[in-house]
Every structure is written in structure tokens, then in C-alpha cells.
Structure 1
């Protein structure tokens, strides 16, 4: 039984409407980015190639979680089969880890563009871009398979009530019987690798970017660059920060309510902000106007 928001019976209708609007916004915003960056010749650059792939990933990522939450809120049916739970868990972490790696690739792309502009066309050629995107998808396979095995190989013989909005690590570990310390430690190490490592690499890229921007002559150019990259950095910090807090916080300070809040943030808020942050202050908004006129 995936309880979700069943502890808030008076807010079921409100939450359904809110999440439906958010999900529609995610599909529309990211879908527009995919179409625009595909058809407009002026946007055939590495940055927009990565952005197109990132938008596709965001649609897949949220579609693993939100449709089921909406169905549960609408029908009040909270049952989920063991197989469906395992499939959701596997798909969610495959998308989530891929997103971490793709965010790292996008930060590297911006680092090369700002810090090594003369070598940018040579370094970030089409073959390299494709390899980086494919690598982001392929490299997660061992991690999400291992995570799924570590959780769903455990015996579940107690309560069948999963107090969360989707099949996640901590709620599932709570339902497992016997000694789960080895599994918990292994999960902790994996999350540390796929969460903290991308976070540190992204931070290193942005530190170098900001250092280079500070050397740019003229206040106007510096302010424009700061406004662009600070907004990107806020989204990254919001997404990775919530994920790191959720999965790496000690069990003693763990809160079910906070887990649900953080889960909503990194599964709904950041995906709907991405089309705004990554594109609306760039030239593809003009491409959108041109496309609509056509």
C-alpha cells in the first residue's frame, strides 16, 4: 500500500489539481524545448543538444512518479504490486542518476565554453557530445541494477504500508525484515558516489566559470553572465541538494514528512523550473516566437 498523501484527506482535491497543473507544465515546457532545439538551425549547438536531451530526461523522470500519484489521488486506491513497485524504483533511479550525470556534462560544457572558448568547437564536437550523452545513460546501468537488487532481495514479511509518495529507498528498508545493515551501507556508498561526485564536479566547474567571469571587463557583460549562470546553479543546488539531504541524512534525524516534501521538490519543482531557467533568458525564446509565427 503506497500511502502517499492519504494522511491529508482534506487536501486530496487541491493536491490533485496542483500536481496536474505542474505535470502539464513539465510536459509542455520541456516538450517545447525539444521541438524548438530540434527544428531551429540557430540552436544546433552543443549547449542546446544537451538541453534537448535533458528535457527529454525530465519528461521521463517525472512520468515515472507523477501519473501514479495523480491516479492515487483521484481514485483513492493506494495498492501497488510488488513487481510494479520494483519497476518504478528501478526506472526512477535510472532516470535520477542519469540526470545527475547529465547535469555534470552540461556544467562541463559551460566550463569549456567560458574558460576555453577558442578550443570549444574542437573539444565539444558532435561526436564528443553524443558520447557524453550516451555515456550518461549507459554508465548508470550498474548502479540502478545494484540498487534494485540490494532493496528487493530483502525479505518483506511485516507491514505492507509504504508511507511515501513512491517506492523509495528508506520507506522500503523500513518494511524489510531481519538485518539490513549491509544493504543500508551499500546503498549509502552508491548514493554517495552517484550524488556527491557529480555535485562536487559541478561545483568545481562553476567555481572556474565564476572565476573567469570576474575577469571579464565591463560591469554589464559580467552582470549578464552572472545572472545566467547563477540561475542555472540555483536549479542544480535545489535538485542535488534535496536529493543529498534525503538519501544521506542520518537515520536518527530522518523524518517521513520532510522526505515527502523533498521528494516533491526534486520530482516536480525543479523539472518545471528547468525550461524557464535554462531557456527563457536565452535566444531560444525568440526561436519560439518565430516558430509560432510559422
Structure 2
């Protein structure tokens, strides 16, 4: 909110409020399966992640749960790409900055890893026909060592796996995450300015922060919430703190532009289906971006 929470406006200003934070691209993991295959901590590098997935595969455990009916494999590509390229560079493309390109070393690596990991059997064979919530249910049922998802599914995963649920920043060269927030504004012509401002004040209050956090969202004021040690909620707070300190949150690629979600869904399905390669994927994504941003 412009001027900070608690400031009323005089009818000429339009206060803004960023209320709830979403993190996508974080790494959920099953602690029980990790222990089963000899893994004692969440991976912090891409090499460690790949080594852990290889261990899982050798032990007969699905390495990474994935539902790509709605294109969520694109978040794997983005997580790898922005970690390699850096959050600032990745954000330029996501925000539609002129002359930005998707054809980067990081995104090429991400697309190739998606191909390689699928070829190695690290994903479910039915990934392209399962939606996100179907994958959440499967992960909660113990199918998969790792799962890339957002904080909004943390409560479901925690309820299903209990103490075995863990969460960490996606492992890579730099600490980044795909993220966004819910934005609120008050029109300068509003007939109920003070009531709206009071609502924005409430959204930033300790009471509202606790309510939001209980539902799996990261509130604007994380200082007013807490979680028991060893829980996935505590992991989320730790990860969010790390990402804020490094300014590592990048907007969703599938929102840049509005038609990108459809393109990413189709192109990741083609990759996983063996009908495309990394270069064709990069080209198709950039072509869609150029049609809107030039």
C-alpha cells in the first residue's frame, strides 16, 4: 500500500497493497522416501538433485511427481532457467522488456533437462494426462520423492504426508523462485474509500497474516506468523526469507504474454511426448513472445 499500511488517502491517491505471496518452483520432498534411498537433506544444486533422482530410480522410487495436462512442466524449465541466468535477467523477459530473449543458456538447459529426465524415467509415464491437483494427490499418497509446486498446495501436502513433508528453494546456481502476489487498489473515485482502506489495513494485520498462513499463503507480514520446527510451513517461511534476501522471485513465464500459458502447455507436452526438441521448444516460446512484445 502506497505510504505503508495504515495510511488513509485523501481521494486523489490510489493506495496499493500486495497482500498474499505465491511461490511456485519450490521443491517439495517426501522425507520418508528420502531416508529410504539414503538421502539426508534437500538438494541445493542441480547436480545434487539429479544424483538424488538417480538414487530414487535405482531404488524403485518415482524420482519426481509431475502432472502436465495443464503445462506445469514449464515450471521445471523456468526454475532451472532462471537459476542459471539469474533472477534479474529472467524477470526482464517475463515482464516483456524489449529485446529480451528466451533463447538463453539457462532456458536451453531447462528444456534439455526436461527431455533428459523424461527419457530416464524420472517422471510418471502418464504425466501429460494428469492435471496439477491429480499430481498433488499422487504425491500426497507417496508417489514421488520430489514435486515442484506452489505454497498454495502446502496444506494439502502437509495434511497427506504429515511430518514427512518437506519444502526447499529449488536447487540451482542462484536462489530463485517463480512467484507473484495478490494486488489490491482503491480507486480515487471510490464511494467507500475509508472502508476499503480499512480492509487493506486488516490484510496487513497480524490477525489476517495468521489466517492467510494457515491456508498455505505467505502473508505480507511474515514476522507475525510462526510454525513448528520441522514442518513444511516452517520450511516455507525459511525459503521465503532466503528468496527475499536475494531478490530472487521472478514472475510467471506463462503470464508473459497472456497467450503464453497455452503455448507452454502445448510445447512442454510435445517435449515430453517426444515430438520436439529443446531448440524447437525455445523457438516456439520466443515466437509467441515476439508477437506481443516485438
- TM-score under structure 2 length normalisation: 0.24
Q: Which has the higher contact order (CA 8 A, sep 6+)?
A: 2
Greater fraction of residues in helix: 1
- TM-score under structure 1 length normalisation: 0.24
